[in-house]
Amino acid sequence: MPKPPRPKSQYGRVTALASGHHLATLTAQRVVEQGGSLVDAMLAASAMLTVTLPHAGSLGGCGLLLVYDAASHQVQVLNGTGRAPAATPVDELAGTGLPRHGVRAAVTPTLVRLWARAHERFGRLPWAQLLAPAIAAASAGIGTSEELARNLMQADPQVAAQPGFTDAFHRNGQPLAAGQPLRQPQLAEVLQAIARQGEAGFYSGWVARSLAAFCAEHGGWLGQDDLAQAQADWWESWSTHYAGRQVHVAPPNSAGVLMLRQLNLRAAAGAAQNDPAHDVLRAVAVLQRYRARLGDPARRRLMPADFELGERHIGNGPLDATATRLTPADATGFVAMDVDGNAVALLQSVFQPLGSGAVDPGTGVLLNNRMAEFRAEPGLPNSVQPRARPAHTLSPWIVVQGNRAELAAISPGGIGQTTGGLQLASGALESEATLGELAGRPRWSFNDAGEVLLEAGMDAAVAPALRAHGLTVHEDAGQQLHFGSVKAVRAHAHGGLEAVADLRRQAHAVAW
């Protein structure tokens, strides 16, 4: 396999933006130029992403947002991850296992609730103005992206067999090809309802009735009451000190704390052991020790001490040997930073590529399959439970130095978001390398068997060092879904701003 492509950093003085699709980035740029806040830009970009990359971040999914507010010097977390439906049959699932496809695989979609809570706190422009570009794109149509086309060609047959899938994503009996027109008139109507009524346009009225009826028709558990009671919550971030800065993530149910623990151990090891092989070994230790502790804090309050956050060693306790298994997952999102020192980092997702596969024909909304992130066995921190949130792989992060945001980043990739985050953060905070250089460096990750993957160009000493510790290693690995796709923005001490969009998947950055 060839080495990963090396993107170029974009530089500006006023604003830096990056997202998973050029139309989302350009939409956000126009919003900022019209006087909108970074949260306004986020909302407009997020809406466009539901149109352009529905396989990764539809209206039927969830979201997680970090905001650095320069006025208060605080990182705020908005948790828009969905909950299991109230009718979830826990005893049945303990015997059958968790659904991975179809309407039963969906937690309550909560992305629009996230938009609403963010907008009421930080928004300036009206909903109608922010959603107008996405409505136009859904109604008039866009060219199918290479990213969507690739996922459709590789779709699991069980996903492609779900109700509504073929009508949404096939034309003349074949999956949509790159560049082929993609019109989504029903989705445009949903976005118009949200533009007129705000969050009520999605969680009540005809949209909610349509989604609930579709789920009921196909044996699902998601109902109108679940939609009405969906919520996104403001939380305090968790952080750790690294290289003279504070690195902030969302607390559990997010897996972001696993990235912080890897940074803790890297800092303790010192420069002599801060190479990729040692990073992999530390990641294995962190995932095996702490991943199974993730769950909904509403069920049991979780504290940084539960993950030994800030400690320079790995504590004692049971190990989960399966914790390094990286289930192929997809997400998209948006990052931004401005000259005033504000920053946002959003991830939105339907979990695995194309989510549940189920598309409500009345709304054009593809539902997520996030129920698969629970555990079916009872008595665990992440056991499935009605109205509980599953442990979540979405892990945006923001680095703060002094009273200013310095770096904000996101990436898809399941639990690999935490290992990819370690690789970008350590490189950015320990060297003078550009974000483009860092995004283009060969990465390591794990596959769905828990084996180590090394991209082409990785230092030749890494593989034998890992094999000496008993790990199975695949060199020159080309599994795109396992290595993520960084979108990052950074503020420099000289006052400039930098943005990068990783070319491993579709992405676009701009700075001015």
How is the chain split into domains, by residue range?
26-61+80-232+341-373, 235-328+395-511
DSSP string, 98-132: ---SSGGGPPPP-HHHHHHHHHHHH--S-HHHHHH
DSSP string, 391-416: PB----EEEEETTEEEEEEE--STTH
Instruction: Say what the pLDDT of residue 475 is.
Output: 96
Which residues are paired to 473 by β-bridges? 452
User: Which token pair is 253?
Assistant: 């149910």
CA 112 – CA 214 distance, rounded (Å): 19
Q: What residue spans of 329-387 are helical by DSSP H?
A: none
Instruction: Say what the pLDDT of residue 320 is.
Output: 78
| Mean pLDDT of successive 10-residue stretches along the chain, which has 512 residues | 83 98 98 98 98 98 98 97 98 95 98 98 98 98 97 96 98 97 98 98 98 98 98 98 97 98 96 94 95 93 94 80 83 97 98 97 98 96 97 97 96 93 97 96 94 95 96 88 92 95 94 98
Element at 224 (helix H, strand E): helix 224-228
The domain made up of 235-328+395-511 has a fold known as: Glutamine Phosphoribosylpyrophosphate, subunit 1, domain 1 (3.60.20)
C-alpha to C-alpha distances, 186 to 198, 364, 458, nearest whole angstrom: 17, 5, 46
Which residues are paired to 174 by β-bridges? 171
CA 69 – CA 51 distance, rounded (Å): 28
Instruction: Say what the pLDDT of residue 1 is.
Output: 64
pTM for this model (two decimals): 0.97
Residues 6+ apart with CB under 8 A from 384: 84, 88, 90, 93, 98, 371, 374, 375, 376, 390
SS3 label, residue 479: coil
